[in-house]
Each structure stands twice: as structure tokens, then as C-alpha cells.
Amino acid sequence: MKVTIKSCCLVEPAESTWNGCMALTESDQTGFLTHVPTIYFYRPSLNWLTSSKQTMFETLRVSLGKALVHFYPLAGRLRWLAGSRLELDCNGKGVELIEARTESDLDELGDFSPSPHFDHLIPQMNYSSPIEEIPLLSVQLTEFRCGGVTLSYNISHAATDGQSALHFITEWARLARGEPLAEEPVLDRKLFRAGEPPSARPRFEHVQFDPPPLLMGQSSSENERRKETTTAMLKLSKAQLEILRNEANGSITAARGYSRYEAVTGHLWRSACMARGHTREQPISLGLCVDVRRRMKPPLPDRYFGNAIIDVVARSLAGELMTRPLGYAAGKDIHALRTKEGAGAVFYGNPNLWVISWISLPLTGVDFGWGKDIAMTPGAHAGDGDSVILPGCDGDGSLVVAICLQSEFMEGFKKFFYQNIPN
């Protein structure tokens, strides 16, 4: 797919905002020196195309400046401090907005599963530049020959977690439609800092940065990192989810019963283990990302803007995971969440797995004035073993698993994933 960049600009807050340095929390700085891509797909309505006095790009540019008045940290830049610590310089330098065009049709993207084609539809970040020059947010609007568009963004994980990023996108869309802001972000990061002044290095008292296990017989993960990977998006209907949840709850006694998230996560872990063909003695781990807004005492505000997540890890032997009932894997998830054994910023590919849940996030239905999206997906995966659980687009109670695995294991994974949960 050939994509041509038509224009590119920096969008600053439409009004003067607070300028100064904002200390980042420990959660902001634990392995998050990266940008996270997301992409929305649209078929614009004819009514909007014929009645609007502004182009889509102009609508986005004007409303983005208004949104940055409220979410002004995104218009700033990161910078290094002594002790390998970052802070956020709220200097109003702005975010990047790109206008692009392709002669391809939207239908050529099929079911919108992540693919190499998406690389051209998502703004690429230049990490060779000094960190003080890299925008925290870069957005790209790409027009297709058929009239459809994609809207993608790459957002700094040091500045936001998924919930905060989606709060921003939702409010930006409201402003683009000419509506007022619904909920102001809570920008005070002192609510989630470890001490005043904060410790010299990012930490949680419970975190143990033990690396995930390697494949038996290997001394590093380099060979696994270099192997070809592929991605898939696998749907689980409401009925299939009920089968998994019943299986998990029927196989082991749980005080409250396993949720669909715990059942699906355990099923993912077990299916990947089977597909990879591990020996019974192979140590394996599962990395999980946990939102702690409601787990704090006192709880953080729902609209706390920043990172309020921690990483935890579950561990097992492959033989135990593959031969025991699903409730065993689901129980490992709960144990990890309760003990909060830390996971570092390391490779979580073969023989391990990394799962992020977006189940509770308002991912779809984002309308900038030309109609709601027809699909939304993570723009890319970090690599082998990376997976995301998403709500289905149809509002039918389904879930979608987006997963990246080494290519040689993907077909086997699909087989085990659907083996005992018929449509």
C-alpha cells in the first residue's frame, strides 16, 4: 500500500496553558519509554461530506488545539533528569498532525486485523532524535480512494495509559462535533507518587524484577527475538465465553468464581503453551497489566490522567498448565494480581506470554463528526507473545483476542484456541 503525505503540522493548545515541569510517577517510568499506536477505520457519511464547511483535516486541527487546552501535558515534551529519571516539561510545543492519501480502497484491508500495511497508516516516531524533540502525540488522517478514512495516533506511554489516552480521544471527538467537554482530566500526578520528593529511581515496594524464563537450553532470548512473527484477531462469541467461564469455574473451587477475563487469559496462556510444544519441565510466565485506580487507598479519580497501571507476572511449568484444568491457569492469574509480583520491561516472547486487557475501555463509537468508526484495532504488537483482549465491535457481548506469535506456531494456536469451544 502506497501512502503519500500531503501535509504535516504541529498543533499547539488554542489558548495559553500552564507552563512548567511536571514530575512523573513511578508507574509512568517503568518500561514505558515508547509510543503506543491505535487506529480507527471510518466510512464517512454523505451528509457530512456535503454539508460540512471544513475538511476533515481542518476539523481535526481546530478541535485538537481546543482539546490540548484541557490536556496540555500532551503538548509538552519529556526530558531526562539525573538518576535516569524523566519529567514532563509542559511547554506547549504541540502535537504532530499528519494528512495523508492513498489510492487503495478501505475494503482491501479485509477484517482490519493488524498487518504490515498499517505501518503506512500510522505516524512513525523517530527515536533517534533527542527525547526533548519527540512529540508525545502524533496523529495521522489517511484518506482512501473510496472515501473512507483511517485516523491513527501514536501516544507516549510515559504520558498516559490506555484509559487516559481514550479519555483524551473521546473528549477530542466531542469537541470536533461542536459539543462541550464532558469530563475534565485530573492532572495532579502527586496523587500517585512514591514520596515527596519522589525516589531517585522508579520503583514499587512489591516489584521484583526477575526476568521471565528462557527456553530450556538457551542462554538468551536473542534467537527467539529474531524469528518471524505473524498476528491474528480471533473472536470469541458470548456463548463461547460462557463455555470457557463455566469450564474454569467447574474445574476448581474459587471463592468468587472466575471472570470471563480470567478464563480467557488462562485459555490464551494454555493454548500458546500447547501450540509451542513445550516440554513438561519448561518454566513459563504470563505478564499482566493491571489498572490500579480502584485498588489504591484512597482510590484515584477515574479521570486521573497519566499511568495508573502496574505489571504483574504469573508463573508455572508447562506440564502443569497443559494437563491441569482451565481453573488452574485462571487461578494463577488471580494469584499474580493479589501478590503483585513485578514484571520488568523485558522480552515476553517464547516461552512466555504478555496479555493486556482493554475489555472495560470505551474503544469504539468514536465520532469526530463524520460518523462512528466501523472498526478499531491496536496499530501494532510489540512482538512475539504480545496479546490484547478487546471488546467486540458489535456490542453483542463478544470479545476479540489480538495476538502476535512466531509464524510457525500460529496455526497450531488457532487449533487449540477453538478446539473445545465450537461456534
Q: Which residues are catalytic?
A: 157, 367
Do residues 171 and 183 touch, judged by C-beta distance below 8 A?
A: yes
Buried b (16+ CB within 10 A) or exposed e, 272-305: bbbbbebeeebbbbbbbbebbbeeeeeebeebbb
Instruction: For the chain, state the CA radius of gyration.
Output: 22
Task: Name, in order, each residue with C-beta under 8 angstroms of 192's C-beta and a sequence gap of 6 or more.
Answer: 25, 27, 296, 300, 304, 306, 308
Residue the block writes with cell 498476528 = 231
CA distance 48 to 25: 42
CA distance 399 to 261: 10
CA distances 339 to 31, 207, 219, Å, are 20, 10, 28
Nearest to 291 by CA among 258, 227, 340, 346: 340
CA distances 137 to 169, 196, 239, Å, are 11, 29, 39
End-to-end CA distance of the chain: 34
> Looking at this protein, which amino acid is placed at residue 307?
N
